[in-house]
Amino acid sequence: MSHFIYLVRHGEQQDAEHGLPDGPLSARGKRQATLIADRLSGVPFTSVFHSPLQRAEDTANTITERLPGITSEPSALLFDCVPSGPGADMPAAFEPFFGSVTEAQIEAGEAQMADAIGEWMTPSLEDRHTLLITHNFVIANFVREVFSASSWRWMGINQANCGLTIIRVRTVKAPELITHNDLGHLPPELRTGLPVDQPY
């Protein structure tokens, strides 16, 4: 039997370009959330969780409107965070990112991600479908965990707003990445949140 984990990055945030730490979805973010909601409406989810930040909660509310009998629960394990500090084998090109990150932020992120992996990257005795609405770095760290990659390797793994990643956790075999950052439900003009030099 398998535990399927569906990871969705929140929709585009209103005024995100002004550096606000949190806020409601933009008009484009609402459209993104509606389209991922339509895509997921037929999945037999057993549970849904979201980051307590508003942009994730707004996305979760839009999705669960199309999931009869399912509500989304906030979880601090899905907060936006820095999942780890730099590693000895990390390319120097990533070092500037950590210039403004404190040791306390790194320690908190490591602890949060260890708990999140322990909570959800678990097999099931019967097929189970869990939806997590969260943030770019958090999803990247789940993907890193699938491959047991170096702790810093979440860096460079990017998800668009309302992109879909699916992980299958099995009882005996290693976890499997089913799909990563699938954007098939979004037209090109709604594919936001990726680095500007990355083709969509």
The residue extents of the domains of the chain are 2-165+180-190
> According to the model, what pLDDT value does residue 19 have?
56
Helix and strand totals (H; E) in the chain: 4, 6
Neighbouring C-alpha atoms within 13 Å toward the C-beta of 61: 11
Rounded average pLDDT over 28-37: 97
Q: How confident is the model at residue 26 (pLDDT cuts 50, 70, 90)?
A: very high
> According to the model, what pLDDT value does residue 197 have?
57
- 8 Å CB contact between 144 and 153: yes
Burial of 24 (0-12, 13-18, 19+ CB in 10 A): middle
> According to the model, what pLDDT value does residue 200 have?
46
What CATH class does 2-165+180-190 carry? alpha beta
Lowest-confidence pick of 57-61, 174-178, 194-198: 194-198
Q: How long, in residues, is the chain?
A: 200
Which residue, 3, 1, 2, 10, is CA-closest to 139? 10
**pTM given for the model:** 0.94
